[in-house]
Amino acid sequence: MNEPLDIDVIRELSDDIVTVLKSLGNKDRLLILSLLVNEELNVSEIETKSQILQPTLSQQLMILRKNNIVTTRRSGKQIFYSIKDQRFIKILSNIYNFHLTSSALSMTA
């Protein structure tokens, strides 16, 4: 059985929780973060793999940087992105597994 949720803790952490959920609540940001779980990528690699057009990609990366979810590293003219907040790796993995399990259960029902 799961541990009960403490509403006072939730209330205290609510701003952080909402930021996390908003970050994942956008399809483009979800795709970007899912790519960055596996490896550090530069902008053109993210654009190619995600199929998100450059203007939208730049906007979404800016939001992720502003929320301290991703970090950057410059190498020459290229900027590489990686996940700064390691909690997102676990969250994305849990979401992925949740949906795989849900899909498998619905196929057997």
- Which of 21-29's residues contact partners 24+ apart within 8 Å by CB, and which partners? 23/63, 23/64, 23/67, 23/69, 23/88, 24/91, 24/92, 24/95, 26/60, 26/63, 28/52, 28/56, 28/57, 28/60, 29/60, 29/63, 29/64
pLDDT confidence band for 109 (50 / 70 / 90): low
**pTM recorded for the entire structure:** 0.81
Choose the CATH number for 7-108 among 3.20.20.70, 3.40.50.2300, 1.10.10.10, 3.30.930.10.
1.10.10.10
Tens-place pLDDT, residues 19-44: 888 888 999 999 999 999 999 999 99
